[in-house]
Amino acid sequence: MAELLILRHAKSSWESPGQDDHDRPLNDRGRRDAPRIGELLAAEGLLPDAVLCSTACRTMETWGLLSAAAGCDVQPLYREELYLAPAGDLLEQLQTMPEFCRRGMIIGHNPGLELLVAMLAGRNVTMPTASMVLMEIDGSWEAITSARFIRQWKPKDL
Closest CA to 153 of 50, 74, 19, 37: 37
Each residue's pLDDT tens digit, 41-98:
999 999 999 999 999 999 999 999 999 999 999 999 999 999 999 999 999 999 999 9
What is the total count of domains within the chain?
A: 1
Domain that holds residue 52: 2-10+25-157
Structural domain contains residue 107: yes
CB contact at 8 A, 108 and 54 = yes
pTM of full prediction above 0.75: yes
Residue 134 has what pLDDT? Answer: 99
Burial annotation 82-119 (CB, 10 A radius, 16+ → b, else e): bbebebebbbebbeebeeebebbbbbbbbebbbbbbeb
Structural domain contains residue 15: no
Structural domain contains residue 40: yes
Closest CA to 90 of 112, 105, 60, 63: 112
Structural domain contains residue 18: no
Each residue's pLDDT tens digit, 109-129:
999 999 999 999 999 999 999
Structural domain contains residue 49: yes
CATH assignment of the domain containing 88: 3.40.50.1240
Structural domain contains residue 115: yes
Q: Is the pLDDT of residue 17 over 80?
A: no
Residue 74 has what pLDDT? Answer: 97
29, HSE (Cβ side, Cα atoms, 13 Å): 12
Structural domain contains residue 20: no
Residue 94 has what pLDDT? Answer: 98
Residue 14 has what pLDDT? Answer: 82
> Distance between CA atoms of 75 and 133, rounded to whole angstroms?
21
